[in-house]
Amino acid sequence: MQHDDLVYVGQMYDLGRKIESRLLQLDRAGFDADEDVRLALTHLIQTLGEAARRVSQAFRSVHRDIPWSEIIGMRHKIVHDYLSVNFDLVWDVSRHEIPRLLLQLHPLVTNPESR
Q: Where exactly are the structural domains of the chain?
A: 3-109
Per-residue pLDDT tens listing for the chain (115 residues):
566 999 999 999 999 999 999 999 899 999 999 999 999 999 999 999 999 999 999 999 999 999 999 999 998 888 776 678 899 999 999 999 999 999 999 999 998 666 5
Regarding pTM above 0.85, the answer is yes
SS3 80: strand
- Is 93 exposed, middle or buried, given 0-12, 13-18 or 19+ CB atoms closer than 10 A? buried
Cβ contacts of residue 55 below 8 Å, gap of 6+?
5, 8, 9, 12, 68
